Amino acid sequence: MKPTSVLFVCMGNICRSPTAHGVFRHKVRERGLEHVIAVDSAGTHNYHPNSPPDPRSQKHAANRSYDLSDLRARQISNKDFEAHDLILVMDWDNLSLVEEICPSIYKSKVRRLTEFCLTMDSSVVPDPYYGGAKGFDHVLDLVEDACEGLLKQLTIGTPT
């Protein structure tokens, strides 16, 4: 059986989407679900091709035991729409940009990550790039909550 594949998308693929990628991958591995859930990330823009995540994202993630060091930035491509079952964007701009290039047959795959939040109330995961440390911690708080909700939804009825 083909694993359910989740793609996280932000603007440059160096802050929010690799954070979501690393957090969700960690949670998937922790539960031994790598055989049923695949994880990837991309950006709407090609600002940082093949670059590692922002050092601040890596530092804040590492403080919570998430390793992002192996991830590399890339731009979303046409093949992603077919390859992934869920394409989860971080904010309204990302949603608009992804929907603009998404073939109509795959539009139902595109959603906001925060739709899966269990306890936090936010319509978006805000971009921490130009802010301080609090922004990166807030991103992690939202991403952890949303990833728990996403995992819960994806594993209902899934044997481990």
What is the CATH code of the structural domain delimited by 4-155?
A: 3.40.50.2300
pTM recorded for the entire structure = 0.96
pLDDT tens digit string along 110-129? 999 999 999 999 999 999 99
pLDDT tens digit string along 55-107? 999 999 999 999 999 999 999 999 999 999 999 999 999 999 999 999 999 99
Q: How far apart are CA 70 and CA 61, in angstroms?
A: 13
Helix axis angle for 16-30 and 55-62, nearest 10°, is 30
Of residues 24, 25, 42, the one with CA closest to residue 94: 42
Is residue 6 a contact partner of residue 155, using CB atoms and an 8 Å limit?
A: no
Q: What percent of the chain has pLDDT over 70?
A: 98
Of residues 40, 52, 19, the one with CA closest to residue 140: 19
Mean pLDDT, to the nearest integer, of 2-21? 97
In this prediction, residue 156 has a pLDDT band, given cuts at 50, 70 and 90, of confident
So what's the pLDDT on residue 160? Answer: 46
Any idea where the domains of the chain sit in the sequence?
4-155
So what's the pLDDT on residue 157? Answer: 58
So what's the pLDDT on residue 84? Answer: 98
Copy the structure tokens of residue 35.
């055989």
Positions annotated as catalytic residues are 10, 16, 127
